[in-house]
Structure 1
Amino acid sequence: MKILKQALLAAMVTAAVPLGSAFAETPADVLVVAQNIDDIVAIDPAQAYEFSSGEFVTNAYDRLVQYDAADIETLGAGLASEWTVDAAAKTITFKLREGVKFHSGNPVRPQDVLFSFKRVVVLDKAPAFILTQLGWTPENIEQMVTLGDGAVTIKYAGDFSPNFVLNVLAARPASVVDEATVMQNEKDGDLGNNWLNANSAGTGPFKLRTYRPAEILAMDANPDYFNGAPKIKSVIIRHVAEAATQQLLLESGDVDMAKNLTPDQIAGLETKGSIKIETYPQAAVHWFSFNQKVEALTNEAVWEAARYLVDYKGMTDTFLKGQMQIHQAFWPAGFPGALTDTPFTYDPEKAKKILADAGVKLPINVTMDVINSAPFTDIAQSLQSTFADAGINFEIIPGTGAQVITKYRARTHEAMLLYWGPDFMDPHSNAKAFAYNADNADDKYASTTTWRNAWAVPEEMNKATMAALAEPDADKRNQMYVDLQEQIQQKAPFVIMFQAVQQVGMQPKVSGFVNGATSDFVYYRLVEKN
């Protein structure tokens, strides 16, 4: 452990200060974070679709409208200083903020907004559906996004409320990139995708200095940021997968913050009192799923029985204590339209009866892919134990976050233990993920849990999901989402178990860190070390 610690510290020191410098603790103007970031597949905002990459995009890029560190509950001005809505014409016109420059020094132009949206649609990477749901295609994007003098008008096709559209435009793939810089680094028609997965070209409060996958992500402050220069000079996020190592580095003062500590570690640190613990409710829901390409997992009795084979309370009372709460619906508690009923408890005898009554042939042997870090491996081991008693045997296959997610997107898993956070703060974001799949064909990729688990959603549910999206009455719309969640609770090939609570350990001198309900609401620009 001592050798590992010294190696990690040496790497952080090298990244934080010029060669030849040395110090006994982290520099006063650098925030050093220990975090498991091996879930990152991409950092290009047109492709980034993981939790850790979301944190980076939020801090390096801006959108026309966005939530900000100073007020994470209110959608406000970003690169647009004001906007005008014409609901009848299904258009919103944005006036760009004057004087804003990219990290390169290039001014932000209406053309950059069109370019940014167009490259998302043309590249068609994992998060592209967030924008294309507005009716945008490679063929019509230049008619749907038109330019004026310091202004951009966007048009949308569909029965959406303007507030829904604004929330879409506040999402990660709507980040505005520097066209001139990106296209200077284009290779083989990739619209700069390869380059932007190792560099940044935004306007945000930080710019990328170094990114090495599953090793380090370092950002330097943008002193000219239009909302005010960050209070910290640099942020270094060091990949540390092991919670024990994170605690060691935190207690020794080698890092300022640790993000993946276990409940036992949190309790121990609180008792000692030398490290402060900050708690942040999260929008992520944790669940496991059955791939419907696996014949043994297509029987609905298996889905039903599975809901009674999870020891929800046992897990939240022990190794998940303080970091998860029982939640069994796809939209997180604390937001309008959430279903908070928890009808399922651990009842193995009931599960066995369900399987027996349905004539399910046992045992069922199934592999379960899981991210190789806490709390995922602990949850998987609990499921392995409780399911085995009913004749469902899980073989746990651990992997890095990127490996697990890549396999999931390819639909080559059998069972999958993962988490899901909203792509934007509207219940349709999760409803489309858990209750909609219009085309289940292998060549019709969709960034949803339904498609990735090869579940052909009943047409009635598809229609109900789209009807909720179009409903103009807010109260009626919320009830429609509650109804959808009840249906998914009863009949779907996945079991939603928990809603996350983020606990972060940090040095007492650290203040100003903002961690909202999703990874897109993690902000470093107000951090100070006093």
Structure 2
Amino acid sequence: MKKLAILSTLLIASTAFAAAPKDTFVYQSSSDIPTLDPGVTYDTASGAIVENLYETLLTYKGASLTQLEPLLSTKWTISNGGKTYTFDLRKNVKFHTGNAMTCADAEYSFERNLVTNSAESGNWFISESLLGTQANANDDKTITWARIDKAVECNNAGQLVFTLPNVDPAFLAKLAYTGQSVVDSKQAIKLGEWSGKEADWKTWVGKDLTDSALNKAPSGTGAYKFVRRDANTFLATAFDGYWGKKPAIKNFIIQKVPELAARQQAFLRGDADLIDGAGRAVDEVQLKGKPGVVWIDDLPNTAAGALFLNQKIADPKLLGSGKLDGKGIPANFFSDVNVRRAFSYAFNYQQYITDVQKGKGKQRTMLLPDTFPGYSGKVKTYKYDAAQAKAYFQKAFGGQVWKNGFTLTANYRAASVPGQTQMEILKRNIEALNPKFKINIQEKQWSEMLADSKSGKEALISLAWAPDYADPDNFMYTFYASDGFYSPRVNWNNAQADKWLKAARQTVNPAERNRLYSLVGNLAYEQAPFVLIPAGVNYSFSRDNLVGASKATYNPMVSFLLGTAWKDLSKK
């Protein structure tokens, strides 16, 4: 996902004060809403809304990250050696326009995602399942309309049938992602979107849907329907024709309030029921323990973050002299495993947990949430050890690093306190080892950093990932595969890791997949392509008259905000 946005310091506060009517929920956000079109929903601000206006074929059961249950489907069967999925669809479901949902709508929705697919849309992983490639037809000429049409079809019984070229153990989890919601095809076509036919499919390949007609006039099957929005306010209301249980809260209002102090004041006055927080250190001081506030702690963290050690730095401006002469670094500075291990030993993990996460953090063994299948606690971890860091620096590049020194420029996300602190810890500890070592750290605008890192230009940056779907493949392949989403940012290419990761994609045996991911984790420890950042412990807070948001029901895969869908909330 454009998840790097998720893993900034955005933390959520939820509340329901007497000042807010029982039938209305007010959320004050710090950011814009990029889009309301599911076909391009790949950020948290958009997803937090789209997931309540639209629905997917299936969803996660309760607080489980592994069990799925029907939503717009009623059941499914798997056949053809795990390559054919057949879904029975729910009857008597209406879109917000009043149009009846049919199998044709579901087929249109998935074919639309395959046609318009781009990395920025998040449809690359459903394309990978259904077409065997992450690319769209512009980038992969083997993709034809016939292949797309065959991948998802409605049979004569009105069932939705997916035909995969290969087994994909993560396929069902992928279908639960918000971006795979079913859209109102009749309304979309009426508004001028893709016709759903071969005649104009090529003109829509890779097309940016951010400001599409469906963004302006969304129509889903969700419990809430869109009413209106402007630059600062969004309004949705409960859908009277909803097929499921009617929501207790009628109106949801989202207000853009960039200033933290203003959001906090509104929260404490009761003018807002939910706000974007500012991280544990601030939120604990400002809100924890206040009258009527319930603090919910020790929630699962389904994100993973690291410092990326780019082995092929493409920006000469970050290289200084471009040589190991004390005035710069070569572009392949991090290609020496001794340099990477030295950096891993130079990071003070416990200090970061104490100072930034206020003691509520955990050092993981792999870039995979410890709540996910495939995580192994037996993989070794690096500890802060100045002597070890020194020893590996002395080995690096045949002793030239230690003898000549280096000057490295590292960027961090502007205004990101955690990102800045990570760099400061490294800078302080590494420069203390040798007076010839120099790390310059500087802040950089997020949009620029994302673009430059995608092009391999950044030398050392902090990035993170939160799941599109609750399967280890979404993390392990993303971080560690040579053709994974993050590969251009780190340029660590390992044939053995690729072999294990591809094998894990081709088996449905859980034990075998766990074994393969453990092998990748052990190899990554030895090769140290990343410095793993400790994972914080998630939390939320709510007023004692809010019903439905609790530790028992919290599921980060169901809701980007509360871990609970809007329709399941109410006020006392």
Please report the TM-score for the alignment, with normalisation by the length of structure 1: 0.83
1:102·1:202 contact (CA, 8 Å) conserved in 2? yes
| Cα 1:53/1:88, change in 2 over 3 Å | same
Alignment equivalent of 2:73, drawn from 67, 80, 88: 80
Letter in 1 for 2:555: G
2:277·2:283 contact (CA, 8 Å) conserved in 1? no
| Cα 1:231/1:377, change in 2 over 3 Å | farther
Identify the residue that residue 132 of structure 1 maps to in structure 2. Answer: 127
> 1:398 deviation in Å?
4.1
Letter in 2 for 1:134: S
Identify the residue that residue 180 of structure 1 maps to in structure 2. Answer: 186
1:8-61 deviation digits (Å, cap 9, x = unpaired): xxxxxxxxxxxxxxx9933332222344446x6554322222233333332222
Secondary structure (helix, strand or coil) at the match of 1:194 reads coil
> 1:507 deviation in Å?
2.4
Alignment equivalent of 2:163, drawn from 155, 160, 179: 155
Secondary structure (helix, strand or coil) at the match of 2:252 reads strand
Give structure 1 stretches of 5+ with no counterpart: 1-22, 439-445
Identify the residue that residue 516 of structure 1 maps to in structure 2. Answer: 555
1:450 aligns with 2:487: yes
Distance across 2 between alignment mates of 1:389 and 1:181: 63
Distance across 2 between alignment mates of 1:68 and 1:223: 25
Distance across 1 between alignment mates of 2:244 and 2:421: 42
Alignment equivalent of 1:305, drawn from 335, 338, 342: 342
Secondary structure (helix, strand or coil) at the match of 1:396 reads strand
1:130·1:173 contact (CA, 8 Å) conserved in 2? no
Alignment equivalent of 1:477, drawn from 507, 513, 524: 513
Distance across 1 between alignment mates of 2:418 and 2:259: 11
Matches within 5 A, 1:72-471: 74-88=67-81, 90-126=83-119, 127-136=122-131, 137-139=143-145, 140-148=147-155, 149-161=157-169, 164-186=170-192, 189=204, 190=207, 193-195=210-212, 196-210=214-228, 217-240=234-257, 243-268=260-285, 269-279=287-297, 280-294=299-313, 295=331, 296-321=333-358, 324-340=361-377, 341=379, 343-358=381-396, 359-360=400-401, 362-370=405-413, 372-373=415-416, 375-390=418-433, 391-400=437-446, 404-438=449-483, 448-451=485-488, 453=489, 455-471=491-507
| Cα 1:492/1:319, change in 2 over 3 Å | closer
Letter in 1 for 2:159: A
Secondary structure (helix, strand or coil) at the match of 1:107 reads coil
Letter in 1 for 2:152: V
Alignment equivalent of 1:506, drawn from 521, 542, 552: 542
> 1:205 deviation in Å?
2.1
1:182·1:192 contact (CA, 8 Å) conserved in 2? no
| Cα 1:241/1:418, change in 2 over 3 Å | farther
> 1:422 deviation in Å?
2.0
> 1:194 deviation in Å?
2.3
Secondary structure (helix, strand or coil) at the match of 1:255 reads coil
Letter in 2 for 1:114: E
Identify the residue that residue 31 of structure 1 maps to in structure 2. Answer: 25
| Cα 1:200/1:406, change in 2 over 3 Å | farther
Distance across 2 between alignment mates of 1:160 and 1:172: 19
Give structure 2 stretches of 5+ with no counterpart: 1-16, 132-142, 194-202, 314-330
Identify the residue that residue 526 of structure 1 maps to in structure 2. Answer: 568
Letter in 2 for 1:202: G
1:370·1:404 contact (CA, 8 Å) conserved in 2? yes
Larger Rg: 2
> 1:351 deviation in Å?
1.8
2:65·2:372 contact (CA, 8 Å) conserved in 1? no
Letter in 1 for 2:89: L
> 1:212 deviation in Å?
5.9
1:149-194 deviation digits (Å, cap 9, x = unpaired): 3311111111334xx3222222233211111222333377458652
> 1:131 deviation in Å?
0.8
Distance across 2 between alignment mates of 1:342 and 1:492: 11
RMSD, aligned α-carbons: 3.0
> 1:476 deviation in Å?
2.1
Report which stretch shifted further, 217-226 or 299-308.
217-226
| Cα 1:315/1:523, change in 2 over 3 Å | same
1:365-420 deviation digits (Å, cap 9, x = unpaired): 223232534544444544454444353514232435x5544544454433322221
> 1:89 deviation in Å?
6.8
Letter in 1 for 2:237: D
| Cα 1:493/1:92, change in 2 over 3 Å | same
